Amino acid sequence: MTAAVTGVAVTGVTALLNAGVDTVADRAGAVPFSWTTKIIEDPCGGASREFVLPRLPPRPDGSANGVAASVVENAPDGLHTELVITFQGNSGTAVVLEALHVEMVKRAKPEGVAVERKGDCGGGMTPRSFAVDLDRPRPRVSPVPGESLGSPIPAVDFPFRISDSDPEVFRLTSRTAACDCRWRLVVDWASGGKRGRSVIDAEGEPFRTVGTDALPYYSNDRLRTPHAWSRRR
């Protein structure tokens, strides 16, 4: 299961402006590229994910995943968020993506319980890999090595060039151990003599990643006890 969001030009956010950056005003077609985002909720290869719920469901659903998709549909990611972003030009003019920043919206103490959900498959590795440590006082987007079809890909940092026929795909992993973190991304770009900043979020809402180190953690062994939870910590 993946959650997908299509990005439309969102710029001119006063709180995000830096001195000396001319940001294009909010209007249709102002930003010469578009983007889509996918939050990967079902990893490949038999891996599992953590989700944070207000309370433990009375019993697992006995499925191969342990927890029904409907139960975790609106639940925040536990421990880490896997975000895939695809950037593509839309104006016939090349665009340089100069930098990608993290904006922390809110920090709070994690509450609730963490449950494990077994994965089906959320897609393969993507060419550009990045990591964000949300527990740092000022989190930053850092390039990390990745892989594609089993072949290693070295870490590559910004800037990147995109066009209508030459998109870029990024896989970004944000992690936190002890924070209920709400965050969004901001991309700096330049094209045709214009420069700007655009906000990347989840349909106007910040992304949310909840640290689970201090939370009760439950999983389900569907072969031995298909309708009972096992506390892991």
Collapsed DSSP state (helix, strand, coil) of residue 128: strand
pLDDT reported for residue 37: 94
pTM assigned to the model: 0.80
The two tokens of residue 14 are 């006063």
Q: Which residues of the chain have pLDDT under 70?
A: 1-29, 41-47, 61-70, 118-126, 222-223, 226
Tokens 């349909």 belong to which residue? 203
Q: Which amino acid is at 163?
A: S
Domain boundaries, the chain: 2-231
Spell out where 90-193 has E strands. 95-108, 113-118, 128-133, 142-144, 146-148, 151-153, 160-162, 168-175, 180-191
Look at residues 162, 190, 171 and name the one whose alpha carbon lies nearest to residue 128: 171
**How many Cβ atoms are within 10 Å of 65's Cβ, its own excluded?**
22
pLDDT reported for residue 97: 98
pLDDT reported for residue 71: 72
Q: What angle do CA 187, 190, 196 make, to 5 degrees?
A: 55
Cβ within 8 Å of residue 219, ≥6 positions away: 48, 66, 115, 116, 229, 230, 232
